[in-house]
Amino acid sequence: MAEETKEAGLATTLLVIGFFLGVTATIGSFISFIGPLAFFIGIPAAICSSIAITLVDFTGSKKTFSYIALTISFIGVVSSGLQHFSKTGTDEAPKHQLEQMQQETKQAH
């Protein structure tokens, strides 16, 4: 009985950590200068939530809050990841076009 209580307490702690970090990552992903950093907040949130789901499965507790925490964590990871990769792609495109224009100018002279 004491072992189940420890596992349930650990699962609850991981769920709260995962939920808090997931909400932070999700909100941060919508702020342009924090968005890429929110990706690195969302990854530990998803890991904590995943471990908590495993512990909840072993204890036989209700899984509703654990799935909510995991979903919010993944939303934060996906939205911040998309923002990071789209920002990286838009940063590289003008550089490539500028280099291409410089090469064409050199070839014309």
| pLDDT in 10s for each residue of the chain, 109 residues | 566 566 678 888 888 999 999 999 889 888 877 777 888 888 999 899 889 888 888 877 778 888 888 899 899 888 888 887 777 666 666 777 778 888 888 887 6
CA distances from residue 32 to 35, 37, 100 in whole angstroms, order as listed: 5, 10, 29
- Structural domain including 87 reads 2-108
User: What's the rounded Cα separation, in Å, for the pair 50 and 106?
Assistant: 55
In sign, the C-alpha dihedral spanning 75, 79, 85, 89 is positive
For the full predicted model, state whether its pTM sits above 0.85. Answer: no
The number of domains in the chain is 1
